[in-house]
Chain A
Amino acid sequence: MIGIVVVSHSPDLANAAVALALQMTGDRRPTIAIAAGAGDGVIGTDAVRVAEAIDEAASPDGVLVFMDLGSAVLSTTMALEFRESTNEVRLSSAPFVEGIVAGVVLAAAGASLDDADREASSAMTAKNAQLGPASPPVARPTPEPDGEAVAEATIVNEVGLHARPASLIVARMADFDAKVTVSDADDPQRSASAGSVLGLMGLAFAKGTRVRFAGTGADAAAAVETLRAMTADGFGE
């Protein structure tokens, strides 16, 4: 599992963002190391502490680092010169909160460094899509080829497909060898990968939305059936 490092000017900010992300994972969670503040309650960043955090989160699968602004980036690039670990370290360009949520959820689901980095970096796209048609278009997954497994279910949760169900879907899909697209059965343009927590959240499916799951791959049938059952069951809420 990849490790996660959170670099912030403020310990409060870092702890709160991590707590938000951890709400969306189960018992299986990545190592998360926080480097925040410059000591003695000073708002700022400390490159030496960032290097320690990168070493704490070290994993053969790599480490993904999320930073807030300004000196957080400078301190982190400097920390790369100080650290003792030798595994790959990737600095995420994602916005802080969305990036941490995506990174932690994907890491917990066993995603690779590449996949977690890509998902986190797509955060602005997902948010733009959620804000409506005035925003830049979001990249649509390509239509599934013939031979796909398909199932449908209706959202029963009062608050719709929100953050927690989205992360549950991503976590469960990690168990299957399948690529599944989640779409609005009545408006197929509204679709996202079942592996993308931000994409699913960006769909903002409300209660009553008829959801179509279409999958390909060796476990496609089991994957779409699992998603259908989870949805019909209200994601355990």
Chain B
Amino acid sequence: MSTTATLPTLVDWLTRFRDAVAENQGYLTELDSAIGDADHGSNMTRGMNAVIGKIGEPAAVDALFKTVGMTLVSTVGGASGPLYGTFFLRIGTTAGAVTELDGPALSAALHAGLGGVIQRGNAQPGDKTMVDALTPALDAFDASLAAGDDLGAAARAAADAAAKGRDDTEPLVARKGRASYLGERSAGHLDPGATSTALLFESLAQALK
């Protein structure tokens, strides 16, 4: 039963996410080669490896996520750099100089991250982007907390919803990013960004278990 996400837990989340993207590097790149420029797996792996190499022992949540965001912005290379970078930077500024986050605080931080992604990428739900995994994940997270679940259960619900959101991108026609150049031909493939976002929430659920 976890009621707060401590700094070590948040670092564990990020480490698990690094491991997940590294493990799925080939798969993410394969998805991206179908509708994009075949670099999502290698880009995210390079970025998250740089993140884990840099975070050390952070003093506070805002400092941790500032390092994460700026490192991704500088090392990912593709659109995921500014998008995931903005996501984590907004999490940090919203969380502030604290050492742990309770459910509502983590929810507020994640929502700020989602707002940043939407603002940066100008994407809406249904555009076949990472927003299609992020949005249902946060809805499920909030609903679980509102039902009185603990943080671990809420993160589990978010991970399941993110995976469903990822699967639901398959029939969609991409309206943002490189995949949008393909138009109708982008349908029938999972979105790589939504897929890595599902890994992000699965990692969170594992870290908060």
Contact B76 A44 (CB under 8 A): yes
B83 interface residue per 8 A CB criterion: yes
B185 interface residue per 8 A CB criterion: no
Contact A46 B74 (CB under 8 A): yes
* Complex CA distance for A43 and B81, rounded to whole angstroms: 13
* Complex CA distance for A42 and B77, rounded to whole angstroms: 7
Q: A44-B43, A49-B74, A70-B177 are in contact. Are A77 and B120 (CB under 8 A)?
A: yes
Contact B79 A47 (CB under 8 A): no
* Complex CA distance for A78 and B81, rounded to whole angstroms: 10
Contact B85 A71 (CB under 8 A): no
Instruction: Pick the most buried of A9, A42, A70, A71: most chain B CB atoms within 10 A of its CB.
Output: A71
* Complex CA distance for A118 and B187, rounded to whole angstroms: 37
A39 interface residue per 8 A CB criterion: yes
Contact B177 A75 (CB under 8 A): no
B175 interface residue per 8 A CB criterion: no
A20 interface residue per 8 A CB criterion: no
Tell me which residues from 157 to 173 in chain A have a Cβ below 8 Å from any Cβ of chain B: none
B121 interface residue per 8 A CB criterion: yes
Residues in A neighbouring B121, C-beta threshold 8 A: 74
Q: Which residue of the partner chain, among B39, B75, B79, contacts A74 with CB atoms under 8 Å?
A: B79
Q: Which residue of the partner chain, among B74, B85, B178, contacts A70 with CB atoms under 8 Å?
A: B178
Residues in B neighbouring A221, C-beta threshold 8 A: none
Contact B78 A48 (CB under 8 A): no
Q: Which residue of the partner chain, among A37, A42, A47, contacts B82 with CB atoms under 8 Å?
A: A47
B195 interface residue per 8 A CB criterion: no
A185 interface residue per 8 A CB criterion: no
User: How would residues 68 to 105 of chain B score, 1 for a CB under 8 Å from any chain A CB and 0 otherwise?
Assistant: 00100111111111110110000000000000000000
Contact A46 B81 (CB under 8 A): yes
* Complex CA distance for A7 and B39, rounded to whole angstroms: 19
- Tell me the dominant secondary structure on chain B's binding face: helix
CB closest residue in chain A, given B86: A78
Contact A44 B73 (CB under 8 A): no
Contact A47 B73 (CB under 8 A): yes
Contact B83 A74 (CB under 8 A): yes
A181 interface residue per 8 A CB criterion: no
User: How would residues 65 to 86 of chain A score, 1 for a CB under 8 Å from any chain B CB and 0 otherwise?
Assistant: 0000111001101100000000
* Complex CA distance for A47 and B78, rounded to whole angstroms: 10
Tell me which residues from 100 to 124 in chain B have a Cβ below 8 Å from any Cβ of chain A: 120-121
A45 interface residue per 8 A CB criterion: yes
Residues in A neighbouring B76, C-beta threshold 8 A: 38, 44
Residues in A neighbouring B86, C-beta threshold 8 A: 78
Contact B78 A71 (CB under 8 A): yes
CB closest residue in chain A, given B43: A44
Q: A74-B121, A78-B86 are in contact. Are A46 and B73 (CB under 8 A)?
A: yes
B93 → chain A closest CB, angstroms: 11
B125 → chain A closest CB, angstroms: 19
Contact B81 A44 (CB under 8 A): yes
Instruction: Pick the most buried of A9, A69, A75: most chain B CB atoms within 10 A of its CB.
Output: A75
* Complex CA distance for A44 and B178, rounded to whole angstroms: 13
Contact A78 B85 (CB under 8 A): yes
Residues in A neighbouring B80, C-beta threshold 8 A: 71
B46 interface residue per 8 A CB criterion: yes
* Complex CA distance for A38 and B78, rounded to whole angstroms: 9
* Complex CA distance for A75 and B86, rounded to whole angstroms: 10
* Complex CA distance for A78 and B88, rounded to whole angstroms: 13
User: How would residues 45 to 86 of chain B score, 1 for a CB under 8 Å from any chain A CB and 0 otherwise?
Assistant: 010000000000000000000000010011111111111011
In the assembled complex, 10 residue pairs joining A and B whose CB atoms fall closer than 8 Å, in A order, are A37-B77, A38-B77, A39-B74, A43-B39, A45-B81, A46-B74, A46-B75, A47-B73, A70-B177, A71-B81
Additional A-B contact list (8), CB under 8 Å, known A77-B120, A78-B73: A38-B76, A43-B39, A44-B77, A44-B78, A44-B81, A70-B78, A75-B82, A78-B82
Which 5 A-B pairs rank lowest in CB-CB distance, beginning with the nearest? A44-B77, A38-B77, A71-B79, A74-B82, A47-B73
